[in-house]
Amino acid sequence: TITGTGFTGATAVTIGGNAATSLTVVSDTSITVTTPAHASAGTADVIIVTPGGSVTGSGAFTYTAPAPAFTSISPVSGTTAGGTAVTITGTGFTGATAVTIGGTAATSLTIVSDTSITATTPAGTAGSASIVITAPGGTATGTGAFTYTATTTIPTVTSVSPTYGPVSTSTAITITGTGFTGATAVTIGGNAATSLTVVSDTEITATTPASSTIGQVDVLVTTASGTSSSVTGDKYNFAAAATTVPLPIFSASPTSGAEPLEVTFTDESTGSPGSWSWDFGDGNTSTLENPTNTYVTDGTYSVMLTETNSLGTNTTTETGYIVVGAAAPVASFSATPTEGSAPLTVQFSDTSTNTPISWVWNFGDGSSSSVQDPVHTYSTPGDYTVTLIATNAAGSNVATETDLVSVTAAQAVTPLAPTYAVTAAATTGSSVDSWLAQQNAEVATASPTKKSPGYDVISALIGCGVVAVAGIALRRH
């Protein structure tokens, strides 16, 4: 209600520069209107426009911020550990300065709009918790709107320090990880640790038990929620008594190949190392004695191993040790047989590595082939050097076997002439037919005299007195 004089015939009223609504001229001294919205809290001028002119009430009206109102929160629950991202809806949130959940300030508070706020829940206790929004217009409360749920956290071990100690001596260790609250046991290599102290949810101190076995073992933590799993960081090494500083020596398999390339490293060091620190050259590391690393990017990698025992530390670096990416073939082959008389047929077999996709053979006698496993026949005596070029997308490689194939001349075969024996019964009185029949019979004498067929026939005929007889037809048997 605006009070004054000369209002008869008034045509407009503005408040803070915006036209009021529902204008009613009650009398020459009274007008009723409804205020328009205003951008911010504070004083505003009231201007009345009449046929006789306008009149201003400077700062006559004060806008105040609207009181906030809570509508909902999403999600409606989260763990007692906190860290749940929530969205709060309602009204009057412009200029909000705080949100509490269960009496504790939320984090990451963002005023999205006059009707929306995002925040992150703080840690709390199991049960329902009220939401309170504080804004310039006052506070709004969502009673019991959010529920904290109890967490079931399986403990995890991320590191052990120190990482080694002598077999026969108890060693004080510090175990770092998560979920240690209420821990009831720590085992080291399956044996219970002594002097167990839960320092915090992330730290335990304990003493190693005696061990009868040298080597690296797991350090596991048990709580009401369960027992930690074996991971890279939970290793402790029961080391042999050191007599010298360790000398790091290692091997790897494979050392080259296409990505992803999984490589297994094997420690072959001397000097009884107590701890291992591997740097695989690709940003990955390990404290295991015999670790495995997977290379996922093509390149050449140097590998470094640092070892420590009670007497000192030593480091070995193998430069350019691991090659990841497509590799050129390493050509090799076999052949069978590799010697014999001409013509000699040889089976060649490709045994190249790194998957060649093409082959060029030179058999040394002027012949060649592009077949992976060719068969070649050598016709001429000699010693032959064989060459294989194996190729893939990454390159080529040549394998040469000098004088691999030895070919000798073919052996001449001399046929044996048939022989005949003349028995004592072959007398001059024998007929030709009788004599010939006797030539095909078993030799009756123990040591017959063997002669060429021509000699036997002529001699026999002379003995029979029929050499000069014309027209005798000898039958071949």
Can you tell me the distance from the alpha carbon of 235 to that of 142, in angstroms, rounded to the nearest whole number? 49
pLDDT reported for residue 457: 45
pLDDT reported for residue 431: 59
Q: How confident is residue 62, by pLDDT bands cut at 50, 70 and 90?
A: very high
pLDDT reported for residue 443: 43
pLDDT reported for residue 378: 97
pLDDT reported for residue 459: 45
pLDDT tops 70 at residue 262:
yes
- Least confident among 358-362, 394-398, 401-405: 394-398
Q: What is the mean pLDDT of residues 59-79?
A: 92
Q: How confident is residue 380, by pLDDT bands cut at 50, 70 and 90?
A: very high
Q: Is the dihedral of CA 175, 177, 181, 185 positive or negative?
A: negative
Domains in the chain (CATH in brackets) are 2-62 (no CATH), 69-149 (2.60.40.10), 156-239 (2.60.40.10), 250-324 (2.60.40.10), 333-408 (2.60.40.10), 420-464 (no CATH)
Tell me: the pLDDT tens digits for 310-336?
Answer: 889 999 999 999 989 877 889 999 999
pLDDT tops 80 at residue 222:
yes
Q: How many CA atoms lie within 13 A of 474 on its CB side?
A: 14
pLDDT reported for residue 170: 86
Q: What is the mean pLDDT of residues 361-383?
A: 97
Q: How many CA atoms lie within 13 A of 35 on its CB side?
A: 16
> Angle 265-266-270 (CA atoms, 0-180°, nearest 5)?
135
Tell me the whole-structure pTM to 2 decimals: 0.39
- Decide which of 448 and 124 is more confident: 124
CB 385 within 8 A of CB 400: yes
Can you tell me the distance from the alpha carbon of 70 to that of 99, in angstroms, rounded to the nearest whole number? 11
Residue 19: helix, strand or coil by DSSP?
strand
Q: How confident is residue 43, by pLDDT bands cut at 50, 70 and 90?
A: very high
- Decide which of 206 and 242 is more confident: 206
Q: How confident is residue 438, by pLDDT bands cut at 50, 70 and 90?
A: low
Residue 238 CB contacts under 8 Å (≥ 6 apart), including other chains: 164, 165, 166, 167, 189, 208, 211, 213, 214, 215, 216, 217
pLDDT reported for residue 226: 87
CB 172 within 8 A of CB 207: yes
Preceding omega of 75 cis (within 30 degrees of 0): yes
Going by C-alpha positions, the residue among 80, 77, 93, 85 that lies closest to residue 132 is: 93
pLDDT tops 60 at residue 423:
no
Q: How confident is residue 80, by pLDDT bands cut at 50, 70 and 90?
A: confident
The mean of the pLDDT values for the chain is 86
